[in-house]
């Protein structure tokens, strides 16, 4: 059974919808800037350029005190979701996130007297990751299946993979899958404590990279089978032909120097799709700009491909954690739709460990198959393959 992608939705530091993000990518315009929240003025982040109040107004919930994660998620989900009124079509929503309602609940840390108030408990109740998923779902449709995936930075990619598997095995006919995450003080402090947060804009796959910049946003794909397509009338934009998840369990946060998990994820995704490695026209790499990730991923890419045009788009958006797989899946779809491989932003001197080098500029080319990599803490590695319809 084929898995078709019929719609996409996204917001990030380079735009609050698909068209805005496409324009920024084609103009090679980064969304990274100095941090105007918390107490990190010296740091760069990829912040969505809308306040919570503006997001509430835009999605039609002006009086709701939702976590920013849920606001960002609903904005992108509304763009992607084209519901099916046919009651025989089984619909699912699978959401990836790592921060959940943390952007609200961390405001109560160290202030238990505030949390004890009635409104305080309502805020604390949003901390659970599944609450964010439920809030988004209740505004969209009556879904037959709802799930939350949290596998660090591969969360959204695994949500998409699970949706595809459930369509393939006949459990669901239409699935909205992807993820959302907002910037929080906790995550910024966490990555600073690991000493992998750059004091300048991030430079994925650069010889002199200093670390990552965090970002926020959301990205979703609408997946459908032929039954759902027949009744929804939606147009198939592409097909999800390959997917795989592996785990090398090398370290709590780092990946093995050999890139074992990443290599296996790419190989098994290719096997699932039935494609040879040389058929991949563009690879949207995970590329966090940390010393460990970039060397490890490049080693894995070298092991799988003799040549491939690849780049990381995190120089545009920052690392959006649980949302990254969804956002970059949308960017991969845009590559297919507009026949463009995206530039590896902020690249000055490429890593010299590999025989393949990231793109120094946008590359218009014939693109039929795109691979998107998402690698999470603990070695949780996922690769997706999108094929032009």
**Does residue 361 contact residue 140 with C-beta atoms inside 8 Å?**
no
Q: 4-11 and 282-284 as β-strands: parallel, antiparallel, unpaired?
A: unpaired
**Would you put residue 16 in left (φ > 0), alpha (ψ -120 to 50) or beta?**
alpha
Pair of tokens at residue 48: 């969505």
Distance CA 166, CA 277 (A): 26
Phi, psi (5° rounding) for residue 200? -130, 180
Distance CA 377, CA 171 (A): 29
Residue 66: alpha-carbon gap to chain centroid = 21
**Whose CA is closest to 283, among 295, 267, 300, 301?**
301
Burial class (CB in 10 A: 0-12, 13-18, 19+), 364: exposed
Distance CA 178, CA 161 (A): 9
As a whole number of Å, the end-to-end CA separation of the chain is 15
Rounded (5°) CA angle 120-121-122: 90
Distance CA 305, CA 327 (A): 24
Indicate which residue of 44, 108, 127, 319 is catalytic: 319
Catalytic site residue 153?
yes
Distance CA 253, CA 296 (A): 13
**Does residue 225 contact residue 92 with C-beta atoms inside 8 Å?**
no
Distance CA 345, CA 340 (A): 15
Which residues are paired to 212 by β-bridges?
Answer: 197
Distance CA 196, CA 328 (A): 21
Indicate which residue of 44, 108, 127, 286 is catalytic: 286
Catalytic site residue 44?
no
Catalytic site residue 319?
yes
Distance CA 71, CA 54 (A): 10
Q: What share of the chain is helix, strand, coil (3-state, %, to 5)?
A: 40, 20, 40
Indicate which residue of 153, 180, 202, 369 is catalytic: 153
**Whose CA is closest to 148, among 212, 219, 83, 95?**
95
Query: Catalytic site residues?
Result: 153, 286, 319
């Amino acid at each position: 059974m084929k898995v078709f992608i019929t719609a996409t939705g996204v917001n990030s530091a380079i735009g609050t919808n698909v068209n805005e993000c496409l324009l920024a990518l084609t103009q090679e315009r980064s969304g990274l800037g100095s941090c105007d929240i918390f107490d990190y003025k010296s740091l760069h982040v990829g912040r969505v350029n809308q306040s919570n109040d503006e997001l509430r107004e835009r999605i039609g919930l002006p009086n709701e005190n939702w976590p920013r994660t849920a606001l960002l998620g609903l904005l992108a989900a509304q763009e992607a979701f084209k519901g099916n009124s046919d009651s025989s079509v089984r619909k699912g929503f699978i959401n990836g996130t790592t921060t959940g309602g943390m952007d609200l609940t961390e405001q109560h840390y160290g202030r238990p007297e505030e949390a004890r108030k009635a409104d305080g408990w309502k805020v604390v109740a949003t901390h659970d990751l599944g609450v964010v998923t439920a809030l988004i779902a209740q505004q969209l449709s009556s879904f037959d299946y709802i799930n939350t995936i949290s596998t660090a930075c591969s969360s959204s990619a695994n949500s998409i993979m699970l949706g595809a598997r459930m369509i393939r095995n006949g459990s669901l006919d239409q699935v909205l899958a992807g993820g959302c995450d907002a910037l929080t003080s906790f995550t910024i402090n966490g990555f600073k404590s690991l000493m992998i947060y750059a004091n300048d804009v991030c430079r994925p796959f650069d010889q002199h990279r200093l670390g990552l910049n965090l970002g926020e946003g959301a990205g979703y794909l609408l997946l459908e089978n032929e039954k759902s397509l027949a009744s929804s009338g939606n147009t198939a934009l592409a097909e999800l032909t390959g997917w795989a998840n592996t785990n090398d369990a090398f370290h709590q946060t780092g990946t093995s120097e050999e890139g074992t998990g990443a290599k296996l994820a790419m190989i098994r995704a290719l096997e699932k799709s039935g494609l040879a490695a040389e058929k991949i026209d563009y690879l949207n790499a995970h590329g966090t700009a940390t010393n460990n990730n970039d060397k490890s991923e490049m080693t894995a890419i070298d092991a799988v491909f003799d040549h491939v045009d690849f780049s990381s788009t995190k120089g545009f958006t920052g690392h959006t954690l649980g949302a990254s797989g969804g956002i970059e899946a949308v960017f991969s779809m845009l590559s297919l739709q507009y026949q463009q491989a995206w530039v590896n932003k902020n690249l000055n001197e490429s890593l010299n460990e590999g025989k393949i080098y990231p793109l120094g500029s946008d590359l218009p080319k014939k693109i039929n198959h795109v691979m998107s990599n998402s690698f999470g803490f603990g070695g949780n590695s996922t690769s997706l393959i999108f094929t032009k319809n």
